[in-house]
Structures are given as structure tokens and as C-alpha cells.
């Protein structure tokens, strides 16, 4: 929780110092650096559009996944098996090059006396995705957040994604998927549960 508070304070402090006008000016500078004229017709509104797009791309900094997962339901008639969501699509941005990461998340948890609305789990993915990220960090953040918020018997997260920092620049290798996983609690200690999770994915 301390790290979340400090990150929020850091972002709030930056926003107080950096105005929208300054952000738009920075985009204009990048356009000039790239070799084009920000005053020409097709680019005049680009700084405003980019700044507005960034607000959407990085809206996850304005939300707390812990708050989203705080509303739970205890009337589950003793259900204590795997709860799993497959194929949660996401769009994020690489923190190294600020280019898109596109992929899917599969996640599961084993509840203890309470469950959370399944849409809240999808929103949790979006909150972490809509920040500057590495896939490894995002995988761990999602798993830790579910684990800390719901206190389940176990959590499993599997992410498969494509990184434009690899497909459109640098080595330029298209169709290369990156896979990351995180297993906590019983999913980590009980290999049969891990296998069930992987089998549900059809892997």
C-alpha cells in the first residue's frame, strides 16, 4: 500500500507542475525532432490529440485495483474450487519505448469464503495494463493484487502478448509471443492445481 501511495503522490506532484499546454508543447517538439512541421494542416491538432490519447492510454494511474476488488460476496454456498477467467484482452505500453503491448490474460483464484464479481477481475487487468509496463511486472502486479485483496488459497496468472518494441523496431521479429506466468499459494505448492489451470487453457 505504501508504494501505491507514494506513486500517487509522485504523479499528483508532477501533474501540478506539468500543464496540458506543456504536454502539448512537448509533443510539438517531438514532431519537429522527427523532421516534420507541426504547423502544417494535418499536424496542427496532433499535440492536443496525442495528449488526449495519453489520458486514455494511461488512465490506470488514476484508479486503484485494490478499491475495485474490495467489494466481495460471501453467499457462495461453500464454493471452494477454481474461479477462472480466460482470454481477457488488454492493450498496454512498453515502459522502455512507449510502444504498444497487445495480448491476453488468463487468471484464476481459489476463493476462501468469498468471491469477487468477475468484471472486477477484468477491470483489474485494465488498470495495470493502462500504465507504462513491462509484461513481467504486470503479471506479478495482477497476481499480487488479487492475492492481497481476496486472501484466496491461490492465484494463477498467465499472460501472452506481442510487443511492438520487438515487432516493429530493433530486431523486427513479427509473430513472436512473450509468455509470463505467476503462481501463488496452492497453485505454486500443488502442481496438480497448476496443471489443471494450464489444462483449462488448452496448453
To the query of whether residue 165 is one of the catalytic residues in this protein, the response is yes
To the query of whether residue 97 is one of the catalytic residues in this protein, the response is yes
Catalytic residue among 93, 141, 163, 182: 163
Catalytic residue among 15, 22, 80, 96: 96
**DSSP type of residue 104:** E
Catalytic residue among 28, 63, 66, 94: 94
What is the C-alpha to C-alpha distance for residues 115 and 92, in angstroms, rounded to an integer?
A: 27
To the query of whether residue 133 is one of the catalytic residues in this protein, the response is no
Q: Which of 52, 2, 65 is nearest to 23 (CA)?
A: 52
Q: Are 136 and 180 in contact (CB under 8 A)?
A: yes
To the query of whether residue 93 is one of the catalytic residues in this protein, the response is no
To the query of whether residue 96 is one of the catalytic residues in this protein, the response is yes
Catalytic residue among 133, 135, 145, 182: 135
To the query of whether residue 94 is one of the catalytic residues in this protein, the response is yes
Residue 125 makes CB contacts below 8 A (sequence gap 6+) with 88, 90, 105, 107, 142
Catalytic residue among 22, 55, 95, 136: 95
Catalytic residue among 97, 140, 160, 194: 97
Catalytic residue among 66, 160, 165, 194: 165
Which residues does the annotation mark as catalytic? 94-97, 135, 163, 165
Amino acid at each position: 500500500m505504501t508504494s501505491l501511495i507514494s506513486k500517487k503522490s509522485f504523479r499528483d506532484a508532477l501533474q501540478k507542475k506539468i500543464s496540458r499546454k506543456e504536454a502539448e508543447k512537448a509533443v510539438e517538439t517531438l514532431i519537429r525532432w522527427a523532421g516534420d512541421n507541426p504547423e502544417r494542416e494535418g499536424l496542427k491538432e496532433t499535440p492536443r490529440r496525442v495528449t488526449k490519447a495519453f489520458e486514455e492510454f494511461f488512465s490506470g494511474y488514476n484508479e486503484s485495483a485494490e478499491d475495485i476488488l474490495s467489494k466481495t460476496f460471501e453467499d457462495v454456498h461453500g464454493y471452494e474450487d477454481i474461479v477462472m477467467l480466460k482470454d481477457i484482452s488488454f492493450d498496454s505500453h512498453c515502459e522502455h519505448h512507449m510502444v504498444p503491448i497487445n495480448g491476453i490474460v488468463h487468471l484464476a483464484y481459489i476463493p476462501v469464503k468469498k468471491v469477487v464479481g468477475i468484471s472486477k477481475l477484468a477491470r483489474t487487468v485494465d488498470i495495470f495494463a493502462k500504465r507504462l509496463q513491462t509484461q513481467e511486472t504486470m503479471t506479478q502486479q495482477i497476481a499480487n493484487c488479487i492475492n492481497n485483496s481476496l486472501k484466496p488459497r491461490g492465484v494463477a496468472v498467465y499472460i501472452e502478448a506481442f510487443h511492438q518494441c520487438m515487432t516493429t523496431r530493433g530486431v523486427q521479429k513479427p509473430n513472436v509471443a512473450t509468455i509470463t506466468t505467476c503462481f501463488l499459494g496452492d497453485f505454486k505448492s500443488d502442481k496438480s492445481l497448476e496443471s489443471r489451470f494450464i489444462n483449462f487453457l488448452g496448453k
